[in-house]
Amino acid sequence: MHHGVSKQEVGPTMVGDEHSDPNLMHYLGATKRNMLGNHFWEYYVHDAPRIVLDKLEKCGYRVISMTGVGQTLVWCLHKESINNSAFLPAQDTL
């Protein structure tokens, strides 16, 4: 994936929450932490976002959108399911 990113880009990069796939978090080299005052856990890495995005692209994820919130950048990614029917409830046939 090609990125238009400045050289000032640095980590840490937040990559997930307590509900994230532990195997994916391990692949990214993420550490789980709870920041003082927060009532949730988050995963982070010391890598710059472009490194994380490259790793996620290798796993089949693609960037859907990106925005800035103050001095924070947020990327929304998506990965196609191989078998979406596994998530659908069984249908009764008449």
What's this model's pTM, rounded to 2 decimal places?
Answer: 0.73
- Residue 10 confidence (pLDDT): 74
pLDDT in tens, 36-74: 998 999 999 999 999 999 999 999 999 999 999 898 899
Q: Report the distance separating Cα 42 and Cα 33, nearest Å.
A: 6
Domain boundaries, the chain: 13-78
pLDDT in tens, 7-26: 556 778 999 999 999 999 99
Q: Across-strand partners of 48?
A: none
In 15-38, which positions are buried (b, 16+ CB within 10 angstroms) versus exposed (e)? Answer: bbeeebeeebbeebebeeeeeeee
Q: Report the distance separating Cα 45 and Cα 82, nearest Å.
A: 27
Q: Report the distance separating Cα 57 and Cα 21, nearest Å.
A: 16
What SS3 class is residue 24? helix
Span 13-78 CATH architecture: 2-Layer Sandwich (3.30)
